[in-house]
């Protein structure tokens, strides 16, 4: 059964996880301390590591609002240049 979300007192299915998981782009959620809290399957493929090796660890890149190109160092001495877009959620919104 899907997780349920309560919005204005109404219980609805939580589609956020489904949307994030199905997204073709790698999505990594990082908290204000720089710790990875979530990554989707596309991010796992991009970073060359399963989520269990990523979640709970430091992201390792400085976070600045906007778009930047970064060079990732992947397992087995591979590298990849990727575009990183950082967005801060509006304050006061539940995550």
Residue-wise pLDDT tens digits, 53-66: 988 999 877 666 77
Prediction pTM value: 0.66
20 vs 15: CA distance, rounded Å: 9
Residue 25 reports pLDDT greater than 50? yes
The domain at 26-86 falls in which architecture? 2-Layer Sandwich (3.30)
Residue 95 reports pLDDT greater than 50? no
49 vs 14: CA distance, rounded Å: 26
């Amino acid at each position: 059964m899907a997780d349920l979300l309560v919005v204005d007192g109404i219980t609805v299915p939580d589609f956020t996880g489904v949307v994030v998981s199905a997204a073709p782009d790698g999505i990594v959620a990082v908290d204000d301390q720089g710790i990875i809290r979530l990554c989707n399957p596309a991010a796992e493929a991009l970073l060359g590591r399963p989520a269990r090796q990523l979640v709970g660890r430091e992201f390792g890149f400085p976070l600045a609002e906007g778009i930047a190109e970064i060079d990732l160092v992947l397992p087995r001495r591979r590298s990849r240049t990727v575009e990183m877009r950082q967005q801060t959620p509006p304050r006061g919104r539940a995550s």
